[in-house]
Structure 1
Amino acid sequence: MTEDTNAPVAKPEIVLERVGNAGLITLNRPKALNALSLQMVRDLSAALIAWRDDPEVMLVAIRGSNKIGRPGSKEALFGGFCAGGDIRFFHQAALSRDSTLEDFFTEEYSLNYLIQNYPKPYIAFMDGVVMGGGMGLSQGAAMRLVTEHTKMAMPETNIGLFPDVGGGYFLSQCPGSVGEYLALTGEVIGADEAISYQLADVKCPAADMPALWAKLGQQSFASIDAAKAWVANDFVQGEDIEEYETEGLNAYFSLLRVKHIVDALEASKQPWARKLGVVLRKRSPLMLHVTLEQIRKARGLPLADVLRMERDMVYQCFHLRPGADSETVEGIRALAIDKDYSPRWSPERIEDIKPGMADEFFVSPWTAETHPLRGL
């Protein structure tokens, strides 16, 4: 037999490089905005564990690739970070009762925990889209770089889900009630807001990204502490940002219940507030209630407990109402499968939510000894 040299060659979805004392990760699924597959989660976990235990690796960095850039050019490797998990896979797996859906969330949340507790400097180049699972890959970083192209969000309520991957942990640490605002609305924010809301550290021009990336492999460190000091003090000089105040958001999103928040927004004399009221009317009423409860339960909890809670919650999202009856499956259908953008939420209106409806999402199907994240 002869080899077909014209056959397409599958490109790896994760590209790993060792350059000097740096371990460098490139998410390489640009046509899907680097959305995470189960294999990508497994490859990322394996690489981070190997580099954690390698005494020659002193720091780790992660970036996305960009489908717009010219193949092989430096520009092709920036401009897109990660749009989240592969929601088409979630939809298909939920309908077919595929057990790998359970594996995905268990392993993704374990990866989020690993990143948040990584003992070596971990730098996230958050250029372009940074949403959902992309936030899980970046929020635990020692240095979170954003650019003028950054589009950050936790948009899960738009698909009948909640902001997972530790979203309860990092959103609840935002100033005031910003966490409630971002979690409920799924609004997209830019670099200045991200830094003001404590979801990023440094803003730098997107044009500087290739040189900063190259700089990582050019350093030599005597110790991890030396690498930490260099990342904190010498790696990059940030641009000035526009500070965003939170008092306006707090006035609405600190209110006790979802109905109170929506009523206040809709009655506001401020156009931006009324616009957010319209946004919330489009979200799953049930998952708005679940999400508000999540953020407030998570506030003050350690990360491991938040991730275990979110693992319980995501199980219930697909099992309380299995298959097509799941609010999450319906949300994904409307947004990504049929693309009719008309999800049939149940209950249909915020006013139809009864007290206690959100409670069952926080009931764990496991004991402490059998929980899939018991080892965190």
Structure 2
Amino acid sequence: MDSTDEVIIERRGSAGIIRLNRPKALNSLTLPMVRTIAPALEDFAADPAVASVIVMGEGERGFCAGGDIRLLHRSGREGSDEAETFWREEFLLNHAISRYPKPYVVLMDGITMGGGVGLSAHGSHRVVTERTRLAMPETGIGYFPDVGATWLLPRAPGEAGTWMGLTGLTVEAADVIHAGFADHYVASSALPALVDAIAALPAATSGAEVHALIRTMASDASESRLAANRNVIDRTFSADTVEEILTALMAEPGEFAAEAAGVIASRSPTSLKLTLRLLRAGRTSANLAECLNRELGACKGILYNHDFYEGVRAAVIDKDRNPKWSPASLSEVAAADIDRFFAPPQPPLFAN
């Protein structure tokens, strides 16, 4: 099969293997990578000799640190269609992963953020390790959790997904499993043997048999911080306004609540309100496709939002880590300011 420098496609035994190959960039996702992965998955699905697909990242630091936000930033500034093209094709890939007809085994070893969550959390067999560091940190760059996160996060236990979406804080393996974003914990040193074992399975292997195999190499992750603080999270993040959530956090004793309050106070006020509204809409949505379509509409609105450009500037261009949000406070962000992000994309992402 065809490979590119950024994605390596190979066959090993009964396994089709996709390796993200930008280790110096923590395997951040580009449009050419999406355009290599999507047809590779289609080819593997159609090949009767392929029992399962394994997706992994090269290097020891990251599975995939997210999408190419520099491209999105440049496209928005130039007024080109590159950003929308990337989002459309990435979201269609996320949806295809969620409906993949064969076992989709993803090794979330190392940093897994943004677009990396889209490549992993929608899969059927999701493996984390002691090196996994997962986050949806978009409110810190004037953006919002996308790639179907507005479907996934509301389905985490209690309000754990609201905590993850608003704070953008990094969580480790046990928390990823608690949130429903992963299934198994396997030591990173055992991953090569796991890949070999999956590749040695017969071509007619079922998803249940792949799960059973992974379980033989899996162990228990350490205690989940999110599970341990579930009562606090559920008490403070159940409100439907960011202001009420912050008030509840500030009234709550303990370092966990204080950390969350401090982080949220540093995020883009517009992004916070948009994210919460998208999460609440996702909670009552019928399916992932509905959420992805809504997210695409919000993505297009982001390109006209000051905070996205300022957030990317502060995080990855100038790297001063000192964004100047506008509006600068939650009280200045009106409901009408958020309404404009909910214009349906044209054409829709999915045909009716």
User: What pairs with 1:1-376 in structure 2 (closer than 5 Å)?
Assistant: 12-66=5-59, 78-221=60-203, 223=204, 226-237=205-216, 238-241=218-221, 242-243=223-224, 244-245=227-228, 246-301=230-285, 302-319=287-304, 321=305, 326-366=306-346, 370-371=347-348, 373-375=349-351
What's the secondary structure of 1:124's corresponding residue?
A: strand
CA separation in 2, counterparts of 1:293 and 1:117? 26
Q: Residue 65 of structure 1: CA displacement?
A: 0.9
CA separation in 2, counterparts of 1:147 and 1:193? 12
Letter in 2 for 1:317: I
Q: Residue 317 of structure 1: CA displacement?
A: 0.6
TM-score by length of 1: 0.88
Q: Structure 2: where are the runs of 5+ without partners? A: none
Aligned residues: 344
CA separation in 1, counterparts of 2:334 and 2:326? 12
What's the secondary structure of 2:215's corresponding residue?
A: coil
What's the secondary structure of 1:81's corresponding residue?
A: strand
1:175-206 superposed Cα distances (whole Å, 9 cap, x missing partner)? 11111110000010000111112111111111
Contact 1:266–1:274, Cα closer than 8 Å, also in 2: yes
CA separation in 2, counterparts of 1:343 and 1:79? 27
CA separation in 2, counterparts of 1:218 and 1:52? 18
1:281-320 superposed Cα distances (whole Å, 9 cap, x missing partner)? 110001100000000101131111111000101011113x
CA separation in 1, counterparts of 2:173 and 2:296? 29
What's the secondary structure of 1:235's corresponding residue?
A: helix
CA separation in 1, counterparts of 2:243 and 2:278? 16
1:1-55 superposed Cα distances (whole Å, 9 cap, x missing partner)? xxxxxxxxx9710001111211001000011100001000110101011111122
Larger deviation: 339-348 or 161-170? 339-348
Contact 2:51–2:201, Cα closer than 8 Å, also in 1: no
Task: Please identify the structure whose Cα radius of gyration is greater.
Answer: 1
What's the secondary structure of 2:17's corresponding residue?
A: strand
TM-score by length of 2: 0.94
CA separation in 2, counterparts of 1:145 and 1:313? 30
Contact 2:138–2:144, Cα closer than 8 Å, also in 1: yes
Identity over the aligned pairs, expressed in percent? Answer: 38
Contact 1:168–1:298, Cα closer than 8 Å, also in 2: yes
